[in-house]
Structure 1
Amino acid sequence: MIIEFYCPRWGSEHLEWDVFLKNVKDAGFDDVEYALASIISKEELRSISKKLKDHNLKLILQHFDTYEPDFNKHDAAYANWFDLVKNVEVVKINSQTGKDFFSFEENNQLLALAEKFAKANNIEICHETHRNKFSFACHITKPFLETNPELKITLDVSHWVAVDESYLEDQAESMALALSRTEHIHARVGHTQGPQVTDPRAPEWQEALNHHLLWWDKIIERKKLNNDDVLTITTEFGPPPYMVTEPFTSNPLASQWDINVYIKDLLKERYN
């Protein structure tokens, strides 16, 4: 099985695309994940796609910015985002889907919309476990997985750890189901009081890191047992305000880029 490591565009938006993509290749990442805002033009999107091809890099597109609280408007905006990207060549789409305050039926309607698009366009869509979305907590996500046997997730378990204020020791059944349906990983390390440790290299965060490593290990083991060809992982430590900053100066306490490279190298060594 091949593990492909994706570098997030998030945190490097200040760089020109060509500079960013060179950095991605120089750091040893395989490809790029890009959180695509709905306001982007199709011309700009085509330009970005060309730059990726010029650098021989593949793309995972991330949906994130459908915020409309009115469900009908939200549903329409979600459909519009898919219409925007339907001709873009991607490895898969990672979707932050729905809202935590929508009903089970409403969020299921959004999942059905995504599934219809996925089948019509032969594109894999994974729905990210994320605060504020349908999948904001481990126990909340379980009935969606049970109801939708084709539902695939991007596991960013850092969100669940923060929401539940634990390392989910008391939710073994729900976690096992989530791990069995994970097709993409966001390799960020959270802790019981937040979605991102300050620096996973620091000794005080080794307990949090080890919990996440064991979850990722189980996904790798499952994929290998199934003889799957590829697993995609995005090292998705974020910039401020995800990255804690120094009071008054707002200087980040660590380097987001260095941490993402560290996590990529750690997992490459662990799984090779």
Structure 2
Amino acid sequence: MKISYFCPLWGSVEMPFEAFCDQVLEAGYDGIELSYDRGDETQRKQRVEAMKSRGIAHVGQHWQTVNPDVEAHIEEYKQQLEWIIGTEPLYINSQTGRDWFSFEDNQRIIAAAKEMSEVSGVNIIHETHRGKFSYSAAVMHRFLEADPELRITFDASHWCCVSETLLEDQQDSVALAISRADHIHARVGFQEGPQVSDPRAPEFSDALNAHLGWWDQIVECKKAANEDLIICPEFGPWPYIPSVPYTLQPLCDQWDTNVYMMNLLRESYR
């Protein structure tokens, strides 16, 4: 079983992409998780060539589809996925559906992803995320029970924020999600937000330890199944990162925080 660590492009999009790739390798990451602007062939080609020339693997990321009309949403979603499939990613991590769509309509969107995955051979997994079909542990439980083949990106930071707990009272739902996880977003959330200001701070030790415990269980599941795992430390930029009012000066450095989390997990799972 191999664990790889991928760097999010999120937060570094203003940097020339080639320079970003070099920085990713220098920091010790194994790959990149990134999205693409649909229709921008120049961007897509440049990014793919830059990664290939450096031997960098990548996971595609979808988050853009927010159309409130379900039929139009499905068509746009399929087009977005097709655009990412064209980059030949290891797989796609998708923020899928809407939190206010019906259960049945969100199932239709998930089914569209499943069909595209079967046709293309590119696995599409679904991120646990606020605003999407997977916005809470309890709601996600229902989807996972309804579809034994549904696989996810585990990011419990959102669920902590939504429920205003560290999920102590939802252990069954968390355990089911852990059993279906194929990818980890290693960001630490807490009862009042999806991202602590600094995971090293002692006031957030309970939140950090809760997340570490969940990630440990996913690693054990993958070891038992002899399956590889990719972890993406995904602390985000402003407005995710708490900042000083008016100046928007971040309270910690996003890049350094993600590198810290990668190294912490590398040492833990060595």
For the residues of structure 2 that align with 1:170 and 1:75, how far apart are their CA atoms?
A: 34
- The aligned counterpart of 1:11 is 11
- The CA deviation at 1:124 is 1.4
SS in 1 for 2:86: coil
Identity of aligned residues (%): 45
SS in 2 for 1:179: helix
Give the letter aligned to residue 31 of structure 2. D
Equivalences for residues 1-272 of structure 1 within 5 A? 1-38=1-38, 40-228=39-227, 230-272=228-270
Task: After superposition, give the CA deviation of every residue in 1:101-121 in whole Å (9 maximum; x if it has no partner).
Answer: 100110000100001111111
For the residues of structure 2 that align with 1:179 and 1:268, how far apart are their CA atoms?
A: 20
Is the CA contact 1:42–1:84 (under 8 Å) kept in the aligned structure 2? no
- The CA deviation at 1:85 is 2.6
Give the unaligned 5+ runs of structure 1.
none
Task: After superposition, give the CA deviation of every residue in 1:144-197 in whole Å (9 maximum; x if it has no partner).
Answer: 111111110001100000000001111111111100000000000000000000
For the residues of structure 2 that align with 1:217 and 1:85, how far apart are their CA atoms?
A: 30
Count of equivalent residues? 270
Task: After superposition, give the CA deviation of every residue in 1:10-33 in whole Å (9 maximum; x if it has no partner).
Answer: 000111011100100000000000
Is the CA contact 1:153–1:184 (under 8 Å) kept in the aligned structure 2? yes
For the residues of structure 2 that align with 1:141 and 1:36, how far apart are their CA atoms?
A: 27
Q: TM-score, normalised by structure 1?
A: 0.97
The two structures, once aligned, show a CA RMSD in angstroms of 0.9
Moved over 6 A (4+): none
- The CA deviation at 1:125 is 1.1
Give the letter aligned to residue 165 of structure 2. S
For the residues of structure 1 that align with 2:20 and 2:204, how far apart are their CA atoms?
A: 29
Give the letter aligned to residue 13 of structure 1. V
- The CA deviation at 1:86 is 2.9
Is the CA contact 1:36–1:64 (under 8 Å) kept in the aligned structure 2? no
Give the letter aligned to residue 22 of structure 2. K
Is the CA contact 2:85–2:122 (under 8 Å) kept in the aligned structure 1? no
- The CA deviation at 1:205 is 1.0
